[in-house]
Amino acid sequence: MSLMGILDRVADVATFDKAIEPARRAVQSLPDAVKDALHGTWLGHPLHPVLVQVPVGSWVSAGLLDAVPPLRPAATVLIGTGVAAAVPAALSGAADWSEQGSGVRRLGALHALANTAALGLYVGSLVARGRGRGTLGRVLSYAGLGIATGSAAIGGHMSYAQSSGASHAATAARALSTDWIDLGPLDDLPEGRPALRTGPGAGVDVPLVAVRRGTRVDAFIGACSHLSGPLHEGAVEEVRGHQCLVCPWHGSAFDLDNGEPRRGPAANPQEKLETRMEAGRVMARLPGHQR
Ligand code: FES
């Protein structure tokens, strides 16, 4: 069985769901502002993959430097850097993990356990090095590197196979026709409430959502960028001073003006369509295409 198949099997194991749930609730109980900072909502990009570069890069580099005796003091500095950077990286990952589906949460729990073990080994390595036990320190750090590498494979599977952190709206947008799409008469759109519309895609209709405010219409891909929640079932609300379209599933709020996330867990923007009126009908298309 391939590595992907093994991880998919693990993602189906529900045995530990009850044990995982308290940790999830604890993360979800953090203040919204803290969670949004950790998600990367302010950045318009998931923060976790940005932060993990530091511990991973530091620890891999330390492994190389440890192989060259005169460079071992520098390896110790890098290991310390990685240990310090692992904490915010773990917190951002935990925030994202707490808002994912069950399969991702199961693998994420395994990912967290492995990373905690690796972090413990690296801390032990620093202690050993500080006490002059260099050989033990190197054994512990290489063991940590091995576990962290395995854990990175799990994290990669969560991103690439389970699409955690990916923009589900961007995926839907790629399937949508680039032509102008007729969303129907302006008068058929309810005032200040999201309405479902569809556009032609590659063999399947792509859900769109339109919000009318007077004569202005803002149109978006209808699948939430976080996990494809149905935005037409959401609401229009003011969030942090911006008129937003709020997802009914996890409460992400997207600025009606530009689709930027104003509240998480979404960190990716919502794909927005440009609109124009034609004989009283609303026309929309993905921006950047000539008529
Ligand atoms: S699907 Fe999670 S906030 Fe929309």
Name the residue ranges covered by the structural domains of the chain: 3-160, 168-285
Per-residue model confidence as pLDDT tens digits over 188-200 = 999 999 999 999 9
pLDDT at 289: 53
181 Cβ contact partners less than 8 Å away, ≥ 6 residues apart? 197, 199, 200, 208, 273, 283, 284, 285
pLDDT at 290: 43
> Residue ranges of the chain with pLDDT lower than 50?
290-291
256 alpha carbon – ligand 1 mean position (Å): 16
Pocket of ligand 1, candidates 164, 226, 254: which has the most ligand atoms within 8 Å of its Cβ, to mutate?
226
Around ligand 1, the residues with Cβ closer than 6 Å are 224, 226-227, 229, 247, 249-252, 265-266
Q: Which CATH superfamily is domain 168-285 in?
A: Rieske [2Fe-2S] iron-sulphur domain (2.102.10.10)
> Could you report the per-residue pLDDT of 203-240, keeping only the tens digit for each?
889 999 999 999 999 999 999 999 999 999 999 999 99
Q: Cα(289) to centroid of ligand 1, in Å?
A: 28
The whole-number pLDDT of residue 165 equals 86
Ligand 1 pocket, mutate which of 32, 249, 254 (most atoms under 8 A from CB) = 249
Gap from CA of 261 to ligand 1 centroid (Å):
11
* pLDDT for the residue numbered 119: 98
Q: Residue 90 C-alpha to ligand 1 middle, in angstroms? A: 22
Arithmetic mean of pLDDT over the chain = 94
pLDDT per residue over 93-114, tens digit each? 999 999 998 899 999 999 999 9
From the CA of 265, give the closest atom in ligand 1.
3
**Distance from the alpha carbon of residue 252 to the mean position of ligand 1, in angstroms:** 6
